[in-house]
Amino acid sequence: MQNIVLIPGDGIGKEITEAVTTILDAAGAKINWIPCEAGEATFKKTGNPLPDETITAIEKHRIVLKGPLTTPVGAGFRSINVALRQKFNLYSNIRPAKSLPNIDSPFRAVDIVLFRENTQGLYIGKEHWVDEEKKHAESIAVVTRDASEKIITAAFEYARKNKRQKVTLVHKANILKLTTGLFLEIGGEIAKKYPEIEFQDLIVDNMAMQMVLRPQQFDVIVTTNLFGDILSDLASGLVGGLGVTGAANIGDTAAMFEAVHGSAPDIAGQGKANPTALLFSALMMLEYLDEYKLAERIRSAVYTVLQDHKNECTADIGGEGTTKTYTDAICELLSY
């Protein structure tokens, strides 16, 4: 049995983690789930959004499947997602976006894997007030050689291992010459060690346009934290939306698997949430555990349900079903 820390999280978190654990159990995954708490609901209950017991459990078991955690906008406690990624140095945020069968989209044959630096950059929210009247705020973007080398190497290693053709590094080095300039410079150095892989760099605004115009030209993408956050939602939009894109946060000694999406408060508690995104994250977890066959069997069941049981799918991907009808349809296929 493999111990996995399970954090259901906020909003739709409970619904989708229940669906995913049900599917993994139905597929015969030998997992001992260790439920832990974090997020806004935990904060409201205990005054602490990230309890010590949760940190201790992650330190012990090292692998986490996590639902989304709500982060208050403007004031309030700082992101627990960012805190977890930094605390366990989960420097690689890997976010695949691949076209799926029978999902209505103007984009075809998209197959992108985005590597997002996960521990620094503007995204970590290093901010302060300059004046006492709070009329002047500043944000600091940190980029180090060490962290940049790690994420860019992870992207190239992935490309080599999976026989991908091209790595595109996304930056804004024309304006942010020091921070993203350093990131770009290191990309050029590392690319030389992978001569079989084409290396390209693009400025982020052009990249956003290119991804919508002709997404098929992109293969592996590597970028800094905030650009990766934005472009990975964009990439999700190319393949059916946030309901269908999984993700992994991987460091040298721990890994946390979660969807790209957030807690979706607009649909929470209504049985409308699509669990595919978290399920695909869980499949990345199975692959991390070298359970490739099991992951493939579940992925193939998902594809069959999308193709042949569209009515049972959730509304975000054009179905007429609920979280439960979709989960049941996958479990039914897995039971054969």
By CB under 6 A, what part of segment 69-108 binds ligand NAI?
A: 69-71, 81
CB of 73 to Mg ion, least distance (A): 13
Which one of Mg ion, ligand NAI, none interacts with residue 71, CB within 5 to 8 A by kind?
A: ligand NAI
Of residues 71 and 120, the one with the C-beta less far from ligand NAI: 71
Helix (H, G, I), strand (E, B), or coil: what is residue 164? Answer: coil
CB-based contact 111:144 (threshold 8 Å): no
In the residue annotation, 328 being an active-site residue is answered as no
Rounded to whole angstroms, the Cα distance separating 151 from 81 reads 18
CB-based contact 14:42 (threshold 8 Å): no
By CB under 5 A, what part of segment 210-269 binds Mg ion?
A: 229
Which one of ligand NAI, Mg ion, none interacts with residue 171, CB within 5 to 8 A by kind?
A: none
What phi, psi does 3 have (nearest 5°)?
A: -80, 130
By CB under 6 A, what part of segment 187-246 binds ligand NAI?
A: 242-243
CB-based contact 131:161 (threshold 8 Å): no
Residues in a beta bridge with 96: 113
CB-based contact 42:49 (threshold 8 Å): yes
Which one of Mg ion, ligand NAI, none interacts with residue 229, CB within 5 to 8 A by kind?
A: Mg ion
By CB under 6 A, what part of segment 10-69 binds ligand NAI?
A: 12, 68-69
What phi, psi does 112 have (nearest 5°)?
A: -115, 140
In the residue annotation, 205 being an active-site residue is answered as yes
Among 183, 261, 327, 328, binds ligand NAI (CB under 6 A): 261
Rounded to whole angstroms, the Cα distance separating 225 from 122 reads 7
Rounded to whole angstroms, the Cα distance separating 260 from 278 reads 8
Task: Please pick, among 10, 201, 229, 328, the residue that the annotation labels catalytic.
Answer: 229
- Residues near ligand NAI, by CB under 6 A: 12, 68-71, 81, 242-243, 258, 261-267, 273-274, 277, 316
Residues annotated as catalytic are 123, 172, 205, 229
- Residues near Mg ion, by CB under 5 A: 229
